[in-house]
Amino acid sequence: MFNSQINQSHSFHNLFTLQKPFLARDLDATHHSSSSAYSPTTILLLPTTTKKFNATHSRSTRPTSAAGKIKAIKNPFLANITKVSGVIHTKSTYLFSVTPSRLLDDAVSFIWTYVLLEFVSKDLDSKGEPKRVKTKAPYDTFGGQYTFEFDVPDDFGEIGAVLVENDYRNKIYIQKIELSDKVTFTCNSWVHSSHDNPQRRIFFADKCYLPSETPEALKSLRKKDLEFIRGTGQGERKAFERIYDYDVYNDLGDPDNKSSDLARPVLGGKKFPYPRRCRTGRKMSSTDPLTETRSSDPFYVPIDEDFSEIKSVSFGARTLYNLLLSVIPRIGTALTGKDEDFLLFEDIDELFDEGVLINGSDKEVASVLPRLIHEVADAADDLIKFDPPETVRRDTFFWLRDDEFSRQMLAGLNPCSLQLVTEWPLISKLDPKVYGPPESAITKEIVEREIKGFMTFDEALAQKKLFMLDYHDLLLPYVSKTRDLEGVTLYGSRTLMFLTPAGTLTPVAIELTRPSSEWQPQWKHVYTPSLGATGSWLWKLAKAHVLSHDSGVHQLVSHWLRTHCAIEPYIIATHRNLSQIHPIARLLHPHFRYTLKINALARQSLINAGGIIESTFSPGKYCMQLCSDAYDLLWRFDHEALPADLISRGMAVEDETAPHGLKLTIEDYPYANDGLILWDAIKQWVTSFVNNYYPKASLVESDEELQAWWNEIRTVGHGDKKDESWWPQLKTQDDLIGIVSTIIWVASGHHSAVNFGQYDFAGYFPNRPTIARTKMPNDDPTDKEWQIFLNRPEDALLKCFPSKKQATIVMAILDVLSTHSTDEEYIGKTVEGPFEAEPAIKKAYEEFRARINEMEVIIDSRNADHNLRNRSGAGLVPYQLLKPFSEAGVTGKGVPNSVSI
């Protein structure tokens, strides 16, 4: 298989003399315990070039050509033997991670540390065993690479796998292993230290195989690797392990904490349906045996899910971890005891003009919030001064306008909740015996009065001109118990909008509802835009309540549930059921990177009892129960693809003559217009990929790994919905294309649309308050309360908004969540190694990349079109959340491959 080339620079001494002899274990096939999943029978060959003590010499003799290609050379002294050279490419940040232990390990590595490699042929020997050969590679501390050589018999055949043992005391991140000009192992994985676990890692060469087509010599490795990944379901997981298993969300509460009410129900099961998470196996609470204990240490994720060192140092989980566990508490302490309310709107502006002083100056704060630390007040303090979001930079008063309120439902942070009104009157599906009369208070007469001059109500309904944010039934069950909490209130809400002839939406009416209870009847009121002073202020307050509802649904449902949470079972099932060399595993791998890590951090400090979400969003401690209800009532896999989502909300209908096969109900719908280009590009790429490996439908049905994968997603990962009739079947290529395209869209396009605009749209919180702290002034007020409102209505709005502490914390969080890493992996940007191994796949990916590049131009041209009023106009932020590429930082654009923040 290798090109024979004689390299005259290799001396006889270098070929046969060992400067450091192989340890017995290096050549002993029984070095690993018999219980190991991999205890191979090894063909022992002559030892090869070995450790160079001089680092400079090691680098200068690295067996690479000027072009960086690795050569296989014929050994002139041994018959029928080819000397193969190779390089292990690692991703390291040694210069950013200098610790005493690291320095000691690196010093020792000059002399003693190796990566041990055992290469496995695709061919069997005469005894029916896989052919194998071992070698070892010394670590180049400064180069971050391992170079090696080994001898291979000419009848060895093509190398198909390698077993890797890391003798270094720290884990290492291997990007790829290259052999000769032809064989590459794309790893993109951490490899644990053998001092933690002697289990060797298996990597397969880049060529993909269906289970039925796997070379005989690799079948046992394929099977055993999957068995190891699944684990036994027992014991507490360790940081160096690579075990993927399922568990319910039983680690959000902290019932053992006696100082506060932090007990929470388990999410997952009949009572609170929910997707499954990655199992950690921590011990159970002494107070509640159904709840797992919590820890201040990072929650376990399989080692491959951890960030590469560059990402963890420059941005990502470590940044968010430090923000949540170090900086946020200091912000809270700095604001404790001070006036909780903003007394004037000028006080809000001070967050950008003067900042917030927090005690204790250190480099950690500056490293976590580099954009926000503008100056140090003195040696003892840090000053956090927020950058004005792009929205308020362009228009200070943008948040007050009704047209902007409606426009953001199409081109803002949560563009996937608006739905077409198809039936009238509006009727609640909740039990009227519990919640009161189900009929909406928004009447035909109210609507007709507001749209007078455009058309009649009947014409508006028939012509599909009425749209709604409907959070009535989702929120109403939580109203009474949320109102029992301190500093927060809640309503069920409906917001009706009208599509004008200009193609823009205008709000028509807002209905707020409080359910009936033992001591008071149901209360509901309809607010409409008003020119009068009192009505105008009530309208502003009603919008603030609706925006707090939309912020909660956005964060809990559109963002967390539909992307982070729903994707986690796909990741677990993929690792447990699809081998590394399965083509679908390799297709999905880029879209799963880092998601489990960021989700674990969310469970630790964001969505947990008393965490950021509960303390800053409505409905407080019931946030995750509401999320469970949304999963139960609203989540359907068959509606997660963008076209299906638009159709299910009445925002589009199928039309073969229209672009993308859909006719949009609102033609100028930026999220849908841009999203459908990306959806089509993803689906075309997946179609080419799937049809290459599955030319016949029978191959889909007979693929046992693939069928086990889809079955486990439905019956375990999303097991609380396993009996739903809407789950797609997996029998044909089209079935597989639809399923995989949906997963990729959710991980890339959908997540980007609801995540990376968070600071721009919600950083100035009056535009999107996360919580409403006070009830409406006309909600059964006392005479004194009503008079206070009449005397100074601005105070009522400021008291309804988040407190200073809540607003500051949320703004800091949103700044980090909206930031792109320096090494962000954007969709269509870089071809994966395994895609290059197959010419047809490489060609299809290049076509995919061309379509993604074209999106950049299309989106720019749309944003420059002044006829598109939902994305262009004075003071408007152009819609570019689905523009594929971005610079590092907060940019309001860029579509990463995966949910990585």
State the pLDDT at residue 62: 37
Instruction: State yes or no: pLDDT of 42 exceeds 60.
Output: no
Instruction: State yes or no: pLDDT of 893 exceeds 60.
Output: yes
Beta strands, E only, 657-805: 662-664
**pLDDT, tens digit (0-9, with 9 covering 90-100), for 62-108:** 333 333 344 555 555 555 888 999 999 987 644 334 455 555 555 55
Instruction: State yes or no: pLDDT of 126 exceeds 60.
Output: yes
State the pLDDT at residue 690: 98
Q: How distant is the alpha carbon of residue 343 from its chain centre? A: 38
524 with 652: CB under 8 angstroms?
Answer: no
Q: Of 191-200, 618-627, 709-718, which range is least confident?
A: 191-200
pTM: 0.90
Of 751, 813, 859, 897, catalytic: 751
End-to-end alpha carbon distance in the chain: 43
Task: Read off the pLDDT band of 168 (50, 70, 90).
Answer: confident
| Encoded tokens for 716 | 């375990």
> Is 559 labeled as catalytic in the residue annotation?
yes
State the pLDDT at residue 338: 60
When pLDDT is averaged across residues 108-130 and rounded to a whole number, the result is 84
State the pLDDT at residue 16: 28
Other beta carbons less than 10 A from residue 51's beta carbon = 17
State the pLDDT at residue 813: 92
| Buried/exposed 354-393: b ≥16 CB within 10 Å, e otherwise | ebbebeebeeebebbbeebbeeeeeeeebbbbbeebbbbe
| Encoded tokens for 871 | 């994305």
Task: Read off the pLDDT band of 34 (50, 70, 90).
Answer: very low
When pLDDT is averaged across residues 722-735 and rounded to a whole number, the result is 98
Sign of CA dihedral 205, 211, 212, 218: positive
State the pLDDT at residue 18: 31
Contacts 24+ apart (CB under 8 A), 693-698: 693/208, 693/210, 693/583, 694/210, 694/733, 694/736, 697/731, 697/732, 697/733
Helical (H) or strand (E) element with 25: helix 24-27
**pLDDT, tens digit (0-9, with 9 covering 90-100), for 278-327:** 999 999 999 999 999 998 888 999 999 987 654 544 455 567 767 777 77
Other beta carbons less than 10 A from residue 558's beta carbon = 22
Task: Read off the pLDDT band of 11 (50, 70, 90).
Answer: very low
> Is 13 labeled as catalytic in the residue annotation?
no
Measured between alpha carbons, how far is 596 from 94 in angstroms, rounded to an integer? 25
Task: Read off the pLDDT band of 829 (50, 70, 90).
Answer: very high
Task: Read off the pLDDT band of 38 (50, 70, 90).
Answer: very low
When pLDDT is averaged across residues 652-674 and rounded to a whole number, the result is 97
Of 755, 767, 870, 897, catalytic: 755
**pLDDT, tens digit (0-9, with 9 covering 90-100), for 536-561:** 999 999 999 999 999 999 999 999 99
| Encoded tokens for 700 | 């889909």
Q: Of 131-145, 523-537, 567-581, 764-778, which range is least confident?
A: 131-145
Q: Of 167-181, 572-586, 613-627, which range is least confident?
A: 167-181
**Contacts of 362 by beta carbon, 8 Å cutoff, 6+ apart:** 382
**pLDDT, tens digit (0-9, with 9 covering 90-100), for 432-489:** 999 999 999 999 999 999 999 899 999 999 999 999 999 999 999 999 999 999 999 9
**Contacts of 756 by beta carbon, 8 Å cutoff, 6+ apart:** 818, 820, 881, 886, 891, 892, 893, 894
> Is 901 labeled as catalytic in the residue annotation?
yes
Instruction: State yes or no: pLDDT of 362 exceeds 70.
Output: no
**Contacts of 821 by beta carbon, 8 Å cutoff, 6+ apart:** 311, 314, 315, 316, 888, 900, 901
Instruction: State yes or no: pLDDT of 377 exceeds 50.
Output: no
Of 32, 559, 639, 718, catalytic: 559
Name the average pLDDT for the chain.
87
| Encoded tokens for 287 | 């107070």
CA atoms within 13 A on the CB side of 688: 17
Of 545, 564, 575, 660, catalytic: 564
Percentage of the chain lying above the pLDDT 70 cut: 84
When pLDDT is averaged across residues 792-819 and rounded to a whole number, the result is 94
| Encoded tokens for 271 | 């009572």
**Type of residue found at 48:** T
**pLDDT, tens digit (0-9, with 9 covering 90-100), for 204-221:** 999 999 999 999 999 999
Q: Of 44-58, 225-239, 249-263, 731-745, which range is least confident?
A: 44-58
Measured between alpha carbons, how far is 32 from 22 in angstroms, rounded to an integer? 16
Task: Read off the pLDDT band of 182 (50, 70, 90).
Answer: confident
| Encoded tokens for 378 | 């003195």
Task: Read off the pLDDT band of 371 (50, 70, 90).
Answer: low
Task: Read off the pLDDT band of 339 (50, 70, 90).
Answer: low
Instruction: State yes or no: pLDDT of 378 exceeds 60.
Output: no
Instruction: State yes or no: pLDDT of 372 exceeds 50.
Output: yes
